[in-house]
Structure 1
Amino acid sequence: MGMKGKVALGAVVGIVVIGAVSANAGDGGNSDSGSGAKSSSASGDRTTGGEKEKDAAGAAEKKAAFAGDGDFQVGTDVKPGTYRTTGNTDGMCYWERAKDSSGEVDSLLANDNVTGTSYVTVKATDKLFSSSGCKDWEAVDEKAKGSPGSTMSGDGGMFRVGVDIAPGTYRSSGNADDSCYWERTKDAEHGLESIIANDNVTGSAVVTISASDVYFKTTGCQDWKKSG
């Protein structure tokens, strides 16, 4: 389980869903919101330098929910919820959600190879979460507020709409060999039913990200800039 180089199944690069997917989100992807990386606190302004450093160290310890390598039992090692790993390079980060720990292909619920950032929702009905070659996973603060940007790295992975990036129309130009893949999703469960729309692109790509979208995924593309 979780070996580097495994090929992700399900909603991955090269699978293009034509048209929109049903709006029945099951557990409701809109609850998987927010990125903890953008949150900040004004407390501690009157503390001494030593106290500030202690508080910062404590916050860092709480931020990392679990390591980027290992098998984690859901409910024991990992609580159900949405998690994020960021700063991954070269697609060496691999994760998977499984319905049991048999290690068989039929056990897989979802998986992916990650470059950049990935958000993943671990459900209470999952039994095992495996991660290999990833940066540490952090719990997503659903109440955190972001400063949505208007540009994205074309190989940045997943961006939270309204937190990491602003909704709107984005353009990526100069893509070659059909290697640019983008995906609009309604949650971070990574099933085919999570996809609202996606495409593999050669040349220029233009996509409108709706305010009702929850995540936008981009791999192998040139950088995106908001054009409208």
Structure 2
Amino acid sequence: MSQQQQRNWFARHKVLTAAGAVVAVIAIGAAMGGGGDGGSPKAGDKKEQPAKQGGDKKAPESKAPAGKKVVTIDGDGDFEVGTDAKPGLYRSTGNKDAGCYWERAKNASGDTDSILANDNVTGTGYVEIKATDKLFKSSGCGKWEAVDAKATGTPKATLKGDGGMFKVGVDIAPGTYKSTGNKDAECYWERSKDASHSTDAILANDNVTGTAIVKVTASDGYFKSSGCGDWTKTA
């Protein structure tokens, strides 16, 4: 199936069954050198989105204190949590065309059932590796850097529509944002409470054709955008 056909299929099928979601993301992950999707959304709850293509600019980054070594994880490889990768919040930037695939797993079996969460990333990706995770997999990603979950930044009033994930209070300020000119439901946005990427972390999401208007609240953890026109803060 061509990539255009794949996007059109997702545009017509916004809500996937658990089995469908797993098959869809496994297919995307396999193409990128990764695995599948461990989310199991219930009908009517969450909408899934295909990996999108597009450019990206790096999100604003908070600087590590002088003299303090930044903990990193390579963008390619399998990493045992606790030995090769420390639990914590990580960020990868500069990823192109959904070529970055990552996965949190409960064991190293490689089975679909072992996947706790995963994603294909264009732009910036955030992921929280938990102490209870056993394996973190990354393929085709920029280097992952540990970031302070309580860090602050200088949020901008405009956001790239294919910029990936934006941390509220660091990359994006709370407020109302508008994106225009979206076609064929290829614009996907998501508000989430954390970077675990579990289904329960999603507060709201949508696939949009035309104009999208979203209110990001101060209590949100992250805002995700893929395949959308650029976002402008209106209020």
- Which interval holds the TM-score relative to the shorter structure? 0.7 to 0.9
Counterpart of 2:63 in structure 1: which amino acid? S
The match for 2:113 is 106
CA contact (8 A) 1:81 1:139 kept: yes
Cα-to-partner distance string for 1:32-90 (whole Å, 9 max, x where unaligned): xxx9922366x7xxxxxxxxxxx6xxx6xx33511000000000001110100010001
Per the TM alignment, residue 172 of structure 1 is displaced from its structure 2 partner at its CA by 0.1
Residue correspondence of structure 1 range 206-225 to structure 2 within 5 A: 206-225=213-232
The match for 1:9 is 37
The match for 1:90 is 97
CA contact (8 A) 1:149 1:166 kept: yes
Instruction: Indicate the percent of aligned positions where both proteins have the same amino acid.
Output: 60
Residue correspondence of structure 1 range 78-227 to structure 2 within 5 A: 78-227=85-234
TM-score, normalised via structure 1 length: 0.78
- 1:37 and 2:61 correspond: yes
Higher relative contact order (CA 8 A, sep 6+): 1
The equivalent position to 1:66 in structure 2, one of 65, 68, 73, is: 73
Q: How many residues align?
A: 194
Counterpart of 1:115 in structure 2: which amino acid? T
Gaps of 5+ in 2: 1-25, 47-58
Counterpart of 1:63 in structure 2: which amino acid? V
Per the TM alignment, residue 149 of structure 1 is displaced from its structure 2 partner at its CA by 1.1
Closer/same/farther in 2, CA of residues 222 and 5 from structure 1, 3 Å limit: farther
TM-score, normalised via structure 2 length: 0.76
Gaps of 5+ in 1: 19-34, 44-54
Aligned CA RMSD, in angstroms, stands at 2.5
- CA–CA distance in structure 2, aligned partners of residues 165 and 7 of structure 1: 30
Per the TM alignment, residue 135 of structure 1 is displaced from its structure 2 partner at its CA by 0.4
Closer/same/farther in 2, CA of residues 5 and 66 from structure 1, 3 Å limit: closer
- CA–CA distance in structure 2, aligned partners of residues 73 and 6 of structure 1: 16
The match for 2:12 is none
SS across alignment from 2:108: coil
CA contact (8 A) 1:39 1:145 kept: no
- CA–CA distance in structure 1, aligned partners of residues 131 and 72 of structure 2: 16
The match for 2:82 is 75
- CA–CA distance in structure 2, aligned partners of residues 137 and 161 of structure 1: 19
